Structure 1
């Protein structure tokens, strides 16, 4: 799939209508013959600490950008993906985002100028739903049945924040010996993350709500024949 880029030119802030009348539309370049532009990707490099220092958070930035797209072009469709990286990976935020989301140009540049830390051979995470196992750098993770069920529940609902109450009602039954509560979920998530090691961030905490699974460039999921129960 070809990637089309939009020319970027600095400009003063003016109302959308007057700016549209005064300035020509950005010119799309590098579109090969026989193809057409169907959209674009905007990489935003900022971590949660920097967002908090700016008085906002990643979720709010995403929602405002989506709202702006809907205001400018009501017929447009949007999809947001969060880029994850190991803590302390270093590098410019936007370059880490491009690499994590498999941007072809960034990958090509990375291959030409490999960084010793990022170029270290790693197999990543394989969540094998068909065999009920998780592989970390090609080594089986020692998850308990309940820890795997918890991870699987989140994986099948990728990108959706799951409340603790839903996890309790879905993963525990009245006949279980363990009497679950919200604290129980937090304990299981903490143990699961500890076993995921360097990849613990694939299970994310949404403060005051619950937990979410976000796909990372190093994570692959082997599905069973049963599709995800949620459609987004």
Structure 2
């Protein structure tokens, strides 16, 4: 993984939108919390804010990484005009796993992240990843060769997204398609969010195959390490 600077302006970024800055002087009770004591002989000269967000998530939120950087730099300039800033974007190979913020921390040589990486067992001691197998015919999901303990409704939810691969499904459609009047559970949009959160927790390291499209719904994104065993019934979208 590597870094790409974002300090130079580029014409592909949209103009920064105005950032509201409080004008009232904070009272002592509302003052920002003080930094914890620093070691003797040192002083605080600035800070690093790690932001974990990939281009797809930014696009789904109606923005891009360059615009986010410009907004943050503009806010700092308004709050402390004399402050100096430097921005860089963390790069990783396509398809690399792990949380976005962890990728950023490693790319920026964060000591805690590097220490955690050093504690990771050597490759020969790590069990090889077998990927995800979504077996629609048997209604079963295997993660690295181990069967995932999905409930019936969790599998139905995953299957619905898988069969409509690449299409964002809104919560109303999921409710209408996966629940009926005879179910004990009375579903709403919050119900869908809860089921998706539980599903992702059971997918573990592969949770990002179920993507959130902010303000719309959810989408299944197939990775290279995901295989699907179809039933005889083809996808309804083909």
| TM-score, with structure 1 as normaliser | 0.54
C-alpha separation in 2, matches of 1:181 and 1:53: 33
Counting only pairs closer than 5 Å after superposition, residues 1-232 of structure 1 correspond to structure 2 as 47-48=54-55, 52-55=64-67, 83=95, 85-87=97-99, 90=103, 121-231=128-238
Higher relative contact order (CA 8 A, sep 6+): 2
Structure 1 segments of 4 or more deviating over 4 A? 88-91
C-alpha separation in 2, matches of 1:190 and 1:84: 22
- What do the CA deviations read for 1:105-150 (whole angstroms, capped 9, x no partner)? xxxxxxxxxx959x97210100000100000000000000000000
- What do the CA deviations read for 1:7-66 (whole angstroms, capped 9, x no partner)? xxxxxxxxxxxxxxxxxxxxxxxxxxxxxxxxxxxxxxx93378733128xxxxxxxxxx
| Structure whose CA Rg is larger | 2
8 Å Cα contact 1:126-1:134 kept in structure 2: yes
C-alpha separation in 2, matches of 1:227 and 1:158: 12
C-alpha separation in 2, matches of 1:165 and 1:84: 32
Query: Displacement of 1:214 after TM fit?
Result: 0.4
Gaps of 5+ in 2: 1-52, 69-93, 105-121
8 Å Cα contact 1:158-1:215 kept in structure 2: yes
- Aligned pair count? 138
Gaps of 5+ in 1: 1-45, 57-81, 92-114
Distance verdict in 2 for CA 1:165–1:175, change over 3 Å: same
Query: Displacement of 1:84 after TM fit?
Result: 6.5
